[in-house]
Structure 1
Amino acid sequence: MKIGFYTSTFNDRPLEEVVDFAASAGFDAIEIDVGGHIKTPDRVEAAVTLARSRGLSVSSITYFGNQLDADRDKRRELRTKTADFAKAIGEAGVPIFVIFPGRDDSASEDANYDDFAEFAIKLIAETQSSGLTFAIENWPGPRDNFIGTTPRGWQELFRRITDPRFGLEFDPSHLLRIGVDPYQAMEAVKDRIAILHAKDTAIDKDVLEAVGYHGKGWWQYKLPGLGLIDWPRFLRQARGAGFDGTLSIEHEDAAYGWPGKDLSARKEGERLGLDYLKNVLSRL
C-alpha cells in the first residue's frame, strides 16, 4: 500500500509548497482537493504534472459538492463542472475521482438514489476511454443525512450501479461516530473500495453520557493511531481483501493545527500519521 495525504489540510498554501512538503516528508502520494488546489478543469494537468515531478503519485482528485442539490440550477451547474473535471482527470491519468452524492430533502429516499445513480452511470459511460474510477466518500455531510454513507446506503447504490468503476473512498472515522462497526462494514463492501481514508475518531464516553448522540463535544476526528480504530486489524483486513491502493491521511485533528491554524503543527501531524502507518504496515 502507498501512503499519501489529502491536500485540503493545506488549502491555505500553494500546491507547489504542499507537494514539496509531501515529497520531503517521505509520502508516496497525494490526494488533491479541487476547491483548494485546482479550481478549474483546465488546471488539472498542471497540478498532476507538478506532483509527479516531485516523485509523487496522484492517488485521486476530490471535488466537494451536493450532487443532489434541491436547487436545480445549482445541481445542473455542479454536474456540468463534475463532468468536465472527470474528463480532465481521466486524460491526466489519475485513477480515481472522488465526489459526494449529497441529498435533496424535498425528494424521497428512492428518488435520491435513483437520481444520483443515473448521473453516476452517465459519468462512467462518458469516461470509458480513460477508465476513470468514481468513488464517493462516506462523509454523512453537514447535516448527517447524505445518501450512500452507511452499509444500507451502499447496498442501495451498488444495486443500481453495478459497474466496478464506481466504488468507495472508505473512511472508518465517520462510521465510528455514527455507531457503525467499521470492520464489519468494510467486509461487506471490500470489492468496491477504491481508496482508504486514514483518519481516526476519539469518543469521550463521559461527555456522551451527559449530552447524548445529538449533543456536541463527545467525539473528535484524530490522526490515525490516536483514536479508537484498531489499525493493525483494519489494515490486515483490507490487505486480506486484496486492497493494495493508497492510504490517504485526512488530517482533521484539532490537536495538530486543524483547521488552518499553526502550519508547523499541521505538518507535524502529517508526519506522525505517516510514521504510524508505516510502522503498522511493516508489522502486518
Structure 2
Amino acid sequence: MKIGFYTSTFNDRPLEEVVDFAASAGFDAIEIDVGGHIKTPDRVEDAVSLARNRGLFVSSITFFGNQLDSDRDKRRELRARTAEFAAAIGETGVPIFVIFPGRDDTTSEEANYDDFADFTNGLIAETRASGLTFAIENWPGPRDNFIGTTPKGWQELFRRITDRRFGLEFDPSHLVRIGVDPYRALEAVKDRIAILHAKDTAIDREALQTLGYHSRGWWQYKLPGLGLLDWPRFLSRARGYGFNGTLSIEHEDAAYGWPSKDLAARKEGERLGLDFLKSVLNGL
C-alpha cells in the first residue's frame, strides 16, 4: 500500500509548498483538494504534474459539494462543474475522483438515491474512455444526514450503480463516531474500496454520558493511532481482502494544528501519521 495525505489540511498553503513537504517527508502519494489547490478544471493538469515532478503518486482528486442540493440552480452548476473536472482528471490518468452525494431534504430517501445514482451513472458513461473511477467518502455531512454513508446506504447505491468504477473512499473514523463497526462494514464492501482514508476518532465517554449523542464535544477526529481504531486489525483485513491502494491521511486532529493553525504542528501530525502507518504495515 502507498501512504499519502489529503491536501485539505494545508489549504492555506500553495500546492507547490505542500507537495515539496510531502516528498521531503517521505510520502508516496498525495490526494489533492479541488477547493484548496486546483480551483478550476483547466488547472488540473498543472497540479498533477507538480506532484508527479516531486515523485508523488496522485492517488485521487477530491471535489467537495452537495450533489443533491435542494437549490436546483446550485445543483445544476455543481454537477456541470463536476463533469468538467471528471473530464480533465481523466485526461491526466489520475485513477480516482472523489465526490460527496449530499442530500436533498425536500424529497424522499429513495428519490435522493435514484437521483444521485442517475447522475453518477452518467459520469461513468461519459468517462468510459479514460476509465476514471468515482468514489464517495462516507462523511455524514455537516448535519449528519448525507446519503450513502452507512452500510445500508452503500448497498442502496451499489444496487443502482453496478459499474465497478464506482466505489468508496472508506473512512473508518466516521463509522466509529456513528456507532457502526468499521471492521464488519469493511468486509461487506471489500470489493468496492477505491481508497482508504487514514483517520481515527476518540470518544470522551464521560462527555457522552453528560451530553448524549445529539450534541457536540464528546468525540474528536484524531490522527491514525491516536483514537479507538485497531489499525493492525483494520489494515490486515483490508490487505486480506485484496486492497493494495493508497492510505490517505486526512489530518483533522486539533491537537496538531488543525484547522489552519500552527503549520509546524500540522506537519508534525502528518509525519506522525506516516510513521505510525508504516510501522503497522511493516508488522503485518
Aligned length: 284
* Residue identity opposite 1:111 in structure 2: A
Q: Distance in 1 between matches of 2:62 and 2:202?
A: 25
Runs of 4+ that moved beyond 6 A: none
Gaps of 5+ in 2: none
Aligned to 2:135: 135
Q: Distance in 1 between matches of 2:15 and 2:22?
A: 10
| 2:146 corresponds to 1:146 | yes
Q: Distance in 2 between matches of 1:106 and 1:98?
A: 25
Aligned to 1:5: 5
Output the aligned Cα RMSD. 0.3
- Deviation of 1:111 (Å): 0.2
Q: Distance in 2 between matches of 1:51 and 1:168?
A: 23
* Residue identity opposite 2:141 in structure 1: G
**Deviations 1:192-216 (CA, angstroms, capped at 9, x unpaired):** 0000000000001011001110122
Q: Distance in 1 between matches of 2:160 and 2:93?
A: 27
**Deviations 1:107-154 (CA, angstroms, capped at 9, x unpaired):** 100000000000000000000000000000000000000000000000
Q: Distance in 2 between matches of 1:69 and 1:222?
A: 29
Q: Distance in 1 between matches of 2:158 and 2:128?
A: 19
Q: Distance in 1 between matches of 2:173 and 2:53?
A: 32
Aligned to 1:40: 40
* Residue identity opposite 2:21 in structure 1: F
Aligned to 1:223: 223
* Residue identity opposite 1:50 in structure 2: L
Any residues of structure 2 matched to 1:49-60 within 5 Å, and which? Answer: 49-60=49-60
* Residue identity opposite 2:82 in structure 1: T
Moved more, 209-218 or 229-238: 209-218
* Residue identity opposite 1:219 in structure 2: W
Q: Distance in 2 between matches of 1:188 and 1:259?
A: 33
Aligned to 1:87: 87
Aligned to 1:170: 170
Any residues of structure 2 matched to 1:229-248 within 5 Å, and which? Answer: 229-248=229-248
Q: Distance in 2 between matches of 1:132 and 1:154?
A: 20
Q: Distance in 1 between matches of 2:7 and 2:20?
A: 12
TM-score, scaled to structure 1: 1.00
**Deviations 1:86-115 (CA, angstroms, capped at 9, x unpaired):** 000000110000000000000100000000
Q: Distance in 2 between matches of 1:216 and 1:158?
A: 32
Aligned to 1:118: 118
* Residue identity opposite 1:145 in structure 2: N
Alignment partner of 2:31: what SS? strand
* Residue identity opposite 2:19 in structure 1: V
**Deviations 1:58-89 (CA, angstroms, capped at 9, x unpaired):** 00000000000000000000000000000000
Q: Distance in 2 between matches of 1:199 and 1:2?
A: 15
Aligned to 1:109: 109
Aligned to 2:15: 15
Gaps of 5+ in 1: none
Q: Distance in 1 between matches of 2:264 and 2:90?
A: 34
Q: Distance in 1 between matches of 2:55 and 2:216?
A: 42
Alignment partner of 1:196: what SS? strand
